[in-house]
Structure formats: structure tokens, C-alpha cells
Structure 1
């Protein structure tokens, strides 16, 4: 290339750069903040059907105000009350993603329990602390079931308990079977001391296979973990849970449950202020409520007077699913179904949401249909 040609090429390049520099900067692609993202989610999940329901309100349960949401495409559908786990691990803020399909077949009631989520922000901790007992939590469930039945005009509903919620949920089903189409247990608590021992053994074995000296050292320091007559302290529980989660016992094939809890950040059900304090109740209530539960075998009772459905993650060693399945095999109930989620641990509603919806529709809803409690 001669000197003239090179000069022309250089001039063209400089002109192009000048034109590019003068061009307006491209507009940012939205959403650029949480408010914009939440608005998109809220619009997409809006209930627009003529007979639908979408309510968010405070209800007085157990002497205090507690937050609930009620959503569904058709009021004629059966009601499903969700009792979340933790204690304090609310399910309402994840429901925009993993529970939208449920609302086509059920009227779904999510509830931030005592010392949980938005409810925790309504009452001072010093007032709530003396009430944080298993019996009070069970009574709250009973009051909520009674309120839902009356408010929504239903003789019976479905009660779904997850993790800690499966303890208070199962106890409610035992006391008030006549109120329920069926009880649905997810991550079902039964023989908690045995579940804890198996979870510890799982984590030790996984750490040894992995050559993880730190994990082995920390876990063996807990031995004998959950020995008969010696329930674990909250510090020991947290230490065990750390490595159970790391080796996929909370969410299969993952090292924590962040992909579930992060869903809360886009929830239209929570303001920024409520979201910033979302897990404060979990931190407050867990040391009080969890250790006593893990000291008891609540599966000793092998009779239930309403239908029983268990939805269990095959990899769940957080609340050991094999222990729950062994209990299920011995239970006498008017109807029984167990669905295994082969690619889930403790969070099958998030890990396998499609299969979870199918299980609710195919295993639970027929009980309501038989009773004439379902939209055609």
C-alpha cells in the first residue's frame, strides 16, 4: 500500500472514531434495579381470571398479627395452606417462581409464621420470645386452619408442612383430621434423633471420600452426635448442617440452598425494608425452637385419621428422607401416597418444580374432587 492509500485509510478510521464518539451512549437494558425487576414479576404473575383471588393481609392468630397471602385462579378450587419450615424460613417470597402453577389448581395460602419474615417485624422480640414453644406454634396452625376454612368457606382444606412446618403440620393433622382433605409432608420430620445421626454419618462419609480434612475434623469433633439422651446443641446442629449442605443434602448437586433463598430478592410480596430484615426471624427463632424438636421422635405415633401424602427428595439428609419413608411404611391412614423426587434433596418444590406440581395435582387434588371441592 502506498503512502496515499495509507493516509486515506487512516483518515477514514479517524472519521469513524469521531462519529462513534459523537454517537449517544446506548440505553441500559432494563431491569436496572430491584423495583423494575419486581414490577415485571408482579405483572407476569398477576391473577386476571374472573373468579380469581389475590389478597395480602394481616390476620390475628395466637394473639398477634401475622401476614398471609391468598392467591388462586378460581375460588372454587380447593385450598392449600402452606406451613413453612426453618423455623423462620418463609416460603411466601419464593412462591412467585416455584408456586405459580399451584394457583391454577388450588387457592394457595402462604403464611409468615410467628417470628418469621414480615410477621416478625410486627411484634417486639421480647414479647414474642416467651411464646416460642412447640405447643404455641401448633396452636397457631390450628387457629390458621380454622380461620382459612371460615374465611374461604371451605369445610376441608389441604395442609402442607415443610421441614419444621412438617412437625407442627403433622401434629395439627393428628388433632384435627376432620378439617383436612389430606396432610402433605415435604421434608417430613419423624424420628429426629435418628435423622440427625444419619445426616452426620452422611456428611462424614462424604468428607472422607472427598479428602476434606477440615470437614472430617469438624464433624468428628461432634461425636457422638445426637447420641441417645444427649440431643445436639444449636452450635452442634449448625456445624453438622454446614457440611450436610456442602455435600448436597439440602439441595441436590449443590453446596448450599442459595439458589432457593435468593428467589426472595425478586418477590413482589415484600418491600425493600421487609426484604432487608427477611431472615432476622429465622436467626431469632431457630436457636429457641429447633433443638427441642430434634430431641424427639414424633414418628412414634403410627396412626393418622386423614389421608397422608409425602413428597420426599431422594438426596435429603437435612431431614433424612429414608427415615421418613420408613415411618410412612408403618403408618395407618385412610389413604397414603409417597412420591420420590430423584433429583432433589430438602427443597423439591424448587429443585423439581414441574414434578412437584404434578404430584399435588395427581395425588392431592383428587381427594378434593371426590368431595366436590374443585372447579370443573
Structure 2
């Protein structure tokens, strides 16, 4: 949910002195290209455009063994592709076939059609696209269900998919999990006020106070301003943006400098989606899920606070559910510590998706029993 922050930071990096930066980039890209090679004859490394929702949308499928469970990732932003993180998450592909999709308004899908070629840009349209992508993947890989992993802004889409299409997904995993409550959820706002008061940042405090706590009333400019202030007031978030987010963008072997320059444009274009999300009330949309349900959140996430995610989690009814914190992580927790995230996927999610449905607890009427 901090596309505006990443956009500003990306512009700064691309404007930096070229010689040293480009030399470093060349070395790291070469190393990452070697890291990404899939040599197992049972593996898969495919990427290209699929016709989804009436437009061409980019889908990447990677994994060392096609017999592994399939993980479909719903990226955040809005407008921020997860493809640059492939080298950081290479170990995931030894245990899962990882599908990354650039939704309309993001990444290579945005580059393909430009602003005029993205069609309808609404949350409902993204959800319909995601169902089409899911069915495309199920057919391509010959699987009945996939593990749904939703990041940040993508978790708004992910929760709706999990509620409304349980037959397609073997589990829901939210990370950097967003929870909106029709304007009632204000944890991040009040925490920012407290940090700014403690730091004596009177100018920034006045700006946040002027914006106000009700996200439903924010303009696009206020949404961007708020998230810039949240990130700037937290050293761990700033470090993560610098080392993980921008580092991944800069050293991705499958992205050119032109690709990097287009990302801020995609995020700005997709910003209206963030405003649409402010009206969501996750409790009204539903807390019952007919699949294993997991949230793995950064312990120090100031963008999507774990306390808010935990409140929703506590009210969730699911056959299996578990909440876990990732230490030394703010937002982008799964990418800052991909090894810890993978461990959670293997030890928590893995056993749940391999249990026969008859072993999942029910309430006696075929409905999931509350955990």
C-alpha cells in the first residue's frame, strides 16, 4: 500500500550517478540470472501474455518440479509487480510452482497496453481477472486447486477470492494483510500520530492531522502523502524499501532500465484502486472461509499493522487457521525474510493442504468448525 513511496524512491535511484550504479547493477543481474536457472527436467519456467478480462496480461510460472503444489501470488501496490523479487524467492520454487501475475495497471501488463489499454480499473474487475488467471493456471498445470498467497493491497482481492471461490483454492495465505472496516480501522493512523509526537515532528504531525483518520474521505494526494509519512517515520520500513524493494528492482536480470522507469507510472495510474478499497468492510463481507486460513505478518509492520490483522483473524471461522509474526520485519515481510516465510509455508500451510477434506474439522453440518 505504499506505491507512492516506492515510486518516489525509484525516481531518485534512476537519477543517481550512472557509472557506479550501472556497474553494480550489471554484476548483480548476472549473478541473479545464474540463480534463476531451472535445470530440472521436471521443472517449468514459462512467462508470457494470456488473454485475461479482454486484455493481454502477463503471467509467469516457475518451479523446479511440476508435481509441487501451485502457489498463485496476488501482488500489492496497487500497480507494483512482484516479478523483480524472483531472485530473492528462488528457494520457494524448490517446493512450490510459483505463479506471478501482473494485474491490469501493473508491470508488463501496464507496459503492454499503456494507460489507454488497461480497460476497466476497478476492484471488481481485478477479482474477475484473478478468477480467470486461476482457471488459466489450473488448466495449464492440470491441478484442481492452488494455494492463494495475497500481498498487501492484493489481500483485498485475495480475501474476496477465498470467500467466493473456495473450490479453486486449497488455502488462503495473507501477508502484509490489509484489513479495512468501513472506516473504523485506524490503527496505522493513530500509531503514526504517536511516532510523530514522540519525534517532535510538528510539521508532519500537522499534515497528518489535516488529512484526518477517515480514509473514505481521502483524495489521491492525501492517500499518497499519508503513506509517504508512514514510511518516512519508520527506520525499518525505510531500510526495507531501500535494500529489498529498490534493490530487487535494480538487480532484476529480467527487467531493463526502461521497465524500471515505467513502474512509478504504473503505480500512479493504479492509485484510484487504493481509494476504492477504503470503502471495504471485511467483517461485513464475511469472516467464514471454507479452506485453511493463514496470516503471516511482519511483527513491526506500520503500513498494515499486525494488531488489525489479528483482530480480523480472531473472528475468522475456517477448517484450519493460524496467525504468525515474522520477526525483524515491517511491510514486505515475505520478501525481507523469504526463508522465514518459506518455513511457515512448509510447516504450517503444507500439512493443511495435504490433509484429506474428511479430516478437516466441521461443526456437524458440513460447515467449517471455528478454530
Same fold (TM over 0.5): yes
**RMSD between superposed Cα atoms in Å:** 2.3
Change (3 A) 1:195 1:364: farther
Residue 33 of structure 1 and its aligned partner are, at CA, apart by 5.7
CA contact (8 A) 1:177 1:306 kept: yes
- Give the aligned partner of residue 310 of structure 1: 295
- Give the aligned partner of residue 208 of structure 1: 197
Residues 236-259 of structure 1, C-alpha deviation per residue, up to 9 Å, x if partnerless?
Answer: 2222212211222xx736367232
**Dislocated runs of 4+, deviation >4 Å:** 28-31, 192-196
- Give the aligned partner of residue 367 of structure 2: none
User: In the aligned structure 2, how far is the partner of 1:161 from the partner of 1:195?
Assistant: 22
- Give the aligned partner of residue 101 of structure 2: 111
- Give the aligned partner of residue 239 of structure 1: 225
Secondary structure of the residue that 1:149 maps to in structure 2?
helix
User: In the aligned structure 1, how far is the partner of 2:36 from the partner of 2:127?
Assistant: 31
For structure 1, list consecutive stretches of 5 or more residues without a partner in the other structure.
Answer: 1-27
Residues 256-308 of structure 1, C-alpha deviation per residue, up to 9 Å, x if partnerless?
Answer: 7232321111112223332321232111011x111120122123311111111
CA contact (8 A) 1:317 1:346 kept: yes
Residue 177 of structure 1 and its aligned partner are, at CA, apart by 0.4
Residues 189-226 of structure 1, C-alpha deviation per residue, up to 9 Å, x if partnerless?
Answer: 22255576221211111011111122112112223x21
Establish whether residue 37 from structure 1 lines up as the match of residue 28 from structure 2. yes
- Give the aligned partner of residue 198 of structure 1: 187
Give the TM-score normalised by structure 2.
Answer: 0.85
Bigger-Rg structure (1/2): 1
- Select the residue among 69, 85, 92 that pairs with 2:60: 69
Secondary structure of the residue that 1:304 maps to in structure 2?
coil
- Give the aligned partner of residue 86 of structure 2: 95
Residues 129-154 of structure 1, C-alpha deviation per residue, up to 9 Å, x if partnerless?
Answer: x5001110000111111110110011
User: In the aligned structure 1, how far is the partner of 2:26 from the partner of 2:204?
Assistant: 40
Q: How does 1:310-349 map to 2 (within 5 A)?
A: 310-349=295-334
Count matched residues.
Answer: 337
Secondary structure of the residue that 1:32 maps to in structure 2?
helix
User: In the aligned structure 1, how far is the partner of 2:112 from the partner of 2:299?
Assistant: 38
Q: How does 1:139-218 map to 2 (within 5 A)?
A: 139-193=128-182, 197-218=186-207
- Give the aligned partner of residue 5 of structure 2: none
- Give the aligned partner of residue 12 of structure 1: none
CA contact (8 A) 2:185 2:308 kept: no
For structure 2, list consecutive stretches of 5 or more residues without a partner in the other structure.
Answer: 1-18, 358-371
Secondary structure of the residue that 2:62 maps to in structure 1?
strand
Residues 104-133 of structure 1, C-alpha deviation per residue, up to 9 Å, x if partnerless?
Answer: 1100011111010111011131242x5001
User: In the aligned structure 2, how far is the partner of 1:52 from the partner of 1:271?
Assistant: 26
CA contact (8 A) 1:195 1:320 kept: no
